[in-house]
Amino acid sequence: MIREIQAKTLLAHVRGEDRVFGLKYNFNLYRGCPHQCIYCDSRSLCYGIEDFRDVLVKVNAPALLANELPRKRVKGPIGTGSMSDPYNPVERRYGLARRALEIIAGCGFPVHIITKSDLVVRDADLLCQVNRTQAVVCFTITTPDDALARLLEPGAPPASARLAAMRTLADRGIPVGTALMPVLPFLTDSEENVTAVAEETAAHGGSFVIPWFGMSMRDRQREWFYRELDRRFPGLRSQYERRYGERYECAAPGGLRLAQVFALVCARLGLADHMPEYQAPVIQPGLFN
Ligand code: SF4
């Protein structure tokens, strides 16, 4: 079900220093996400989304952003894509991400986008405009294997389409890379898989890969994930239950070794482990006196 809603506010401050994504502000244009990744953390009870299969569309998001952004005195990267993919299929109809980029370009703020969709290529022209300040696009790729990705992220475009989009944006001069997260225990935690993600990223013009060698699991998220494991990967659930019980942070077995191997691969390929940093322009004292 798709339902239009009016949000009260849009931009949230990111507290503390965000060393990985480098965000100062964050916003979400949708609640719920049709990509339906089986491991999605946004299903957790704490986020208060009744049924994550529904998509709530914040139709007044552009108006809110146009009002809130010019009031921000500190320029810093604005992130989107943490709770719902801004380029989910509903975006084709509503164009909220496009309108948000127009506003961000007009205000001269940097933007950091996380997505699993090649739809982001639609907005390459605007990303180029925003990139006069900074526009970074990070594609989440848990595996380059399209068949496996389809089982894990059934509503998202194939990993190969995300990689093709990465190449297109890289060719337009947009900084691009990959979020390799989560790395799912017993599913995507092989050296071959994480190496392939890094190699495909480099081959498609990416300059960074941000890894997380494990996953989170809590309440409703765990229930959904286990139900989908039973459907898609029979027998695997018991391995998870034995190893992790009720734990929230679930590190991949052999995660330390995996991280070491991965770091060597990234060093060989020249890939960073974080998004490009935003350097705020230095205003020379007295320049405008
Ligand atoms: S794309 Fe992100 S927000 Fe959407 S279902 Fe997947 S993990 Fe959740």
The pLDDT-based confidence of 288 (bands split at 50, 70, 90) is very low
Given this model, what pLDDT does residue 20 score? 82
CA atoms of 33 and 23, how far apart (whole Å): 22
- What average pLDDT does this structure show over 251-271? 97
Q: What is the pLDDT of residue 63?
A: 98
Which helix (H) or strand (E) segment is 210 a member of? Answer: strand 208-211
Mutational test site, ligand 1, from 37, 38, 153, max ligand atoms within 8 Å of CB: 37
pLDDT for 286 equals 53
Each residue of 172-206: pLDDT tens digit? Answer: 999 999 999 999 999 999 999 999 999 999 999 99
Residues contacting residue 148 through CB under 8 Å, at least 6 positions apart: 187, 188
- State the CB neighbour count (10 A cutoff) for residue 247: 13
Examine the pLDDT at 157 and tell me if it is beyond 80: yes
Instruction: Tell which residue, 105, 81, 66, has the closest CA to residue 29.
Output: 81
**What pLDDT is recorded for position 50?**
81
Per-residue model confidence (pLDDT) at position 285 = 55
Which residue is closest in CA terms to ligand 1's atom 6?
37
Nearest partner of 210 among 110, 161, 283, 137, judged by Cα:
137
Distance 282 CA to ligand 1 centre (A): 37
Residue 178: beta bridge partners?
Answer: 139, 209
Specify the pLDDT at position 17: 84
Task: Identify the pLDDT of residue 289.
Answer: 44
Contacts 24+ apart (CB under 8 A), 227-232: 228/38, 229/38, 232/38, 232/151
**Mean of the pLDDT values across residues 84-107?**
98
Distance 85 CA to ligand 1 centre (A): 6
Portion of the chain with pLDDT greater than 70, in percent: 97
**Which residues, judged by CB distance below 6 Å to any ligand atom, belong to the binding site of ligand 1?**
33, 35-37, 40, 42, 84-85, 116, 153, 156
Task: Report which of 153, 146, 66 is spatially closest to residue 116, judged by C-alpha positions.
Answer: 153
The 10s digit of each residue's pLDDT in 29-73 is: 999 999 999 999 999 999 988 888 899 999 999 999 999 999 999
| Mean pLDDT across the chain | 95
Q: Which of 89-103, 158-172, 275-289 has the lowest mean pLDDT?
A: 275-289
pLDDT at residue 253, rounded to an integer: 96
**Rounded to whole angstroms, what are the CA distances from 150 to 147, 174, 186, 222, 227?**
5, 27, 17, 19, 16
Residue 33 CA, closest ligand 1 atom number: 4
Atom of ligand 1 nearest to the CA of 43: 8
CA distance 179 to 219: 24
Average pLDDT over residues 82-99: 96
Record the tokens describing residue 257, joined without a space. 């070794």
pLDDT tens digit string along 121-134? 999 999 999 999 99
